[in-house]
Structure 1
Amino acid sequence: MFIDTNLDDFKLRFAEIKDVPLILEFIKELANYEKMLNEVVATEEILIESLFERKMAEVIIGEYKNKPVAFALFFHNFSTFLGRPGIYLEDLYVKPKMRGKGIGKIILSFLAKLCVERKCGRLEWWCLDWNQSSIEFYKQMGAVPMDEWTVYRVYDDALDKLAMKFSK
């Protein structure tokens, strides 16, 4: 089912399982843009399990003249202070040839609308410090950087070691 937008010939839709190869393609394009392609370990099988079997995240596909040109992957988080869920935008990617047409704004606006409809308290995401064009774009959309917070991550062997500390 397509969701009409205010840009002629551009529609949004929620991804279906048949879109998994396309989702992986978008992930790799984004990773290449961020100079992190070597970090992509996702496979179609992993995405099927995570997105469609366990339903851990959702994906929106943006199509211009019936061709996929953008995607956004997001999931719900929770704010204990607000007592409400939020939407965390993991990835938003618009193909380079399609940038500057307002597609990113439409996707963010749609996610904000989804937040309101789902009674979420906020929409948030991370942005790489070097990505100045995205930072300026997000600020124009009303986003505020959370400079006083530092992101921490435990992964790979450190995650396994931390998990082992719990059990006897």
Structure 2
Amino acid sequence: MSSQTRDPNFIIRPATVADTALILTFIKELADYEKLLHEVVADEATLKESLFGETPHAKVVIGEYDGAPVSFVLYFHNFSTFLGRPGIYLEDLYVQPHMRGKGLGKILLGYLASLAIELNCGRLEWWVLDWNKPAIDFYQSLGAQSMDEWTVNRVTGEALDKLAAQL
């Protein structure tokens, strides 16, 4: 079901399996902007299984302006033991460059905020690259707080295999 927004030309709709190639395109465009395109190893088959398979691991919505897809959001649920409630983790929010400055990012974040409230989530959170000052300023203008006292940790690849072998 599509959601009409404050901008009559912009709708937000759930992604379908038919959007898999589009989602991958948006992921690559975002990665290119973030100077991380070399790290993208996802392909259509992997996304199709991960997003639309038997056990979907994330959800995606597509933003369309005048009927053309121009943005996407990929999110999933996490859980706060301190709050005792689920949350929404925003993995990716992307608006194509020619559509920036129209308030679409704010609308997409508003969509996620309303979804979080509807689902009784305790928070909406995401990461932002520390060099991306325009995004940081934008998020802070919406009331987002930087969690500077937290450090992100990641185990992947060979280190993940090695850690799993400790079992």
| RMSD, aligned α-carbons | 0.5
Q: Report what 2:134 is aligned to.
A: 133
Q: 2-side partners of 1:130 and 1:60: how far apart?
A: 26
1:44 aligned onto 2:18: no
Q: How does 1:86-125 map to 2 (within 5 A)?
A: 86-125=87-126
- The alpha carbon displacement at 1:2 in A equals 1.6
1:150 aligned onto 2:151: yes
Letter in 2 for 1:115: A
Q: 2-side partners of 1:83 and 1:111: how far apart?
A: 20
Letter in 1 for 2:58: A
| Unaligned 5+ runs, structure 1 | none
Q: 2-side partners of 1:128 and 1:8: how far apart?
A: 32
- The alpha carbon displacement at 1:87 in A equals 0.1
Q: How does 1:25-104 map to 2 (within 5 A)?
A: 25-53=25-53, 54-104=55-105
Q: TM-score, normalised by structure 1?
A: 0.98
Letter in 2 for 1:16: T
Letter in 2 for 1:97: H
Secondary structure of the structure 2 residue equivalent to 1:81 = coil
Q: 2-side partners of 1:117 and 1:10: how far apart?
A: 21
Secondary structure of the structure 2 residue equivalent to 1:47 = helix
Letter in 2 for 1:143: A
Secondary structure of the structure 2 residue equivalent to 1:82 = coil
| Unaligned 5+ runs, structure 2 | none
Letter in 1 for 2:132: N
Q: 1-side partners of 2:32 and 2:149: how far apart?
A: 29
Letter in 1 for 2:15: A
Q: 2-side partners of 1:140 and 1:8: how far apart?
A: 24
Q: Residue by residue, what CA displacement relative to the aligned partner does 1:13-61 show, whole Å, maximum 9, x if unpaired?
A: 0100000000000000000000110100001110111111121000010
- The alpha carbon displacement at 1:77 in A equals 0.2
* Stretches of 4+ aligned residues off by more than 4 angstroms: none
Q: Report what 1:18 is aligned to.
A: 18
Question: Across the two proteins, how many residue pairs are aligned to each other?
Answer: 166
Letter in 1 for 2:3: I
Q: 2-side partners of 1:62 and 1:76: how far apart?
A: 20
Q: TM-score, normalised by structure 2?
A: 0.98
Q: Residue by residue, what CA displacement relative to the aligned partner does 1:87-143 show, whole Å, maximum 9, x if unpaired?
A: 000000000000000000000000000000001000000000000000000001110
- The alpha carbon displacement at 1:152 in A equals 0.3
- Greater shift after overlay, 120-129 or 48-57? 48-57
Q: 1-side partners of 2:58 and 2:27: how far apart?
A: 14
